[in-house]
A = this chain, B = another copy of it.
Amino acid sequence: MDNHCFNFKRYSLLDNHCFNPHHSALFTDLYELTMLQAYYAEGMTATAVFELFFRELPARRNYIMAAGLDDVLSYLEELRFTDDELAWLEQRGQFSEALLEALRHFRFTGDVYAVPEGTIVFENEPVVQVVAPLPEAQLVETYVLNQIHLQSVAATKAARVVTAAQGRNVVDFGSRRSHGTDAALKVACTSYLAGAIGTSNVAAGRLYAIPALGTMAHSYIQAHTDEMAAFKAFAREFPETTLLVDTYDTLAGVHKTIDLARQLGDAFKVQAIRLDSGDLAELARSSRKLLDEAGLEHIKIIASSGLDEYKITRLLERGAPIDGFGVGTELAVSADAPDIDFSYKLVAYDGQPRMKLSSSKVNRPGRKQVFRVRDDGRMVGDIIARCDETLEGEALLAPVMQNGKRLDPGQDSLAKAREHARAQLEALPSALKTLERAKAGYPVKISAALTTLTEELQRALECKLRS
């Protein structure tokens, strides 16, 4: 019953029989399991509707780019309890035989509706809607939230950085500071979704079939006794490389690049230099001048070093001749908005709308649809409605899974999602693309029918409370 590789803090993924906690049905909050036991005991297996949405934009965000759907659908398709996991649950002595038996046959058989990957969303708009037997819709809460939250945080940050770069290349350099391996992979993918041209992370490059990029670190230069010797040796192996010039003195490094070009003549294929410290705008200007004077106008200048959308904006305002940005920590952790208050709420059970009344956390009942109105292509306002309404504008939520099977997203789904994300950013009101909080937020209305339903149910619940 016990797993030989299941030691403290260790799971060998070289041994494929091991419990993999990243993609386990046990990746859930314990209360999901205790609630499931109660639901099964009470025969509460009718259809539930849960909606995933956020209530408030983070202070420094004007919009959220929704992401993470593909991982959610893969999880729902593959979700099952292995014998090994069931045995472990049984060992705990906490759960009923009935629950364990139900989990043995557990599959997600429901339907999912969602906004397309890369869609811009606002307060209270359902991003994912799960319609399934109550225990199924309940169990998946933790993973679904975990992935949509992380990937939407990361896609939104990347969209801001890419917007700030005004068409210049942005590359994700964040893997060393992202919160773990999963975040590193998802930050790479969602950065690409939002318009970055690639990532430094090789595993992400492979997993998502996106460009993996990078050349050298300071350690490479330092390991040599001489910077020029390091440049030469590296250019021999990778002629079209980017040289990191700031290990000892940036402009001296640029001079060495120019010397190397003279020495190598036609064999000189170096494409760029990278600046990673100091006053990047000033150094970029001086470097550009030196390179141009040496006839090396084609050599590009890449900058990195604690960059984010604010610093990139200031660099470009100062006219820094920088052609591309490597963005690490800030893209990885989204320090100015590392979390969004996404939650996953029951809005209907067995055909009846549901809501809670807890102070300041009221949520609107019933299954919903979001209609987006455009004017000359530009987004001008959304209306959150009951799902049985048909209002003007484009309906954002569409079916993505039926009876536990994902609907075919077609070929090149990441490329399509990236194009969708680009078009979404283009259609966004320009006031929302600024870095600070826009004075007037994007207009999101609630339909009359949804308002009526909310007020009626609220009155009924309050009446019941008083009785």
Give chain A's interface residues, CB within 8 Å of chain B. Answer: 6, 8-14, 16-17, 19-24, 26-35, 37-39, 41-42, 44, 48, 50, 70-71, 74, 78, 80, 88, 96, 134, 138, 141-143, 145-147, 149-150, 153-154, 173, 175-186, 189, 200-209, 212-225, 233-234, 236-238, 241, 246-250, 252, 276-278, 329, 332-335, 338-339, 341-342, 344-346, 349, 352, 354-361, 412-414, 461, 465
Contact = CB atoms under 8 A, between A and B. Distances in A.
A176 B141 contact: yes
Given A10-B70, A346-B219, A179 B176 contact: no
15 contacts: A9-B413, A21-B207, A22-B22, A23-B181, A30-B201, A147-B180, A176-B342, A177-B339, A181-B182, A222-B349, A248-B465, A250-B358, A277-B358, A278-B358, A329-B339
Given A39-B223, A179-B182, A248-B358, A333 B339 contact: yes
A143 B177 CA distance: 10
A318 B427 CA distance: 49
Given A216-B34, A278-B358, A146 B335 contact: no
Given A22-B182, A186-B180, A333-B339, A31 B215 contact: yes
Copies of this chain, how many?
Answer: 2
A71 B11 CA distance: 9
Contacts of A333: 179, 338-339
Contact of A179 (B178, B344, B346): B178
Contacts of A24: 203
Contacts of A207: 6, 9, 11, 19, 21
B361 A184 contact: no
A243 to B, nearest CB: 12
A29 B349 contact: no
Given A9-B70, A38-B234, A146-B184, A214 B29 contact: yes
Contacts of A360: 277-278
Nearest to A29: B200
Given A27-B181, A31-B214, A134-B223, 4 more contacts: A23-B181, A29-B173, A176-B344, A180-B183
A400 to B, nearest CB: 14
Given A180-B146, A237-B34, A219 B414 contact: no
Contacts of A6: 206-207
A5 to B, nearest CB: 10
A37 B153 CA distance: 36
A243 B276 CA distance: 54
Contacts of A358: 218, 246-248, 250, 276-278
A8 B339 contact: no
A423 to B, nearest CB: 20
A179 B150 contact: yes
A34 B176 contact: no
Contacts of A339: 177, 329, 332-333, 335
Given A30-B212, A70-B9, A234-B38, A142 B175 contact: yes
A26 B449 CA distance: 53
A50 to B, nearest CB: 7
The listed residue with most B CB atoms (<10 A of its CB), out of A33, A74, A236, is A74
A138 B220 CA distance: 9
A380 B318 CA distance: 46
A306 to B, nearest CB: 8
Given A10-B70, A30-B205, A38 B150 contact: no
Given A21-B185, A183-B180, A200-B29, A249 B357 contact: yes
Contacts of A33: 202
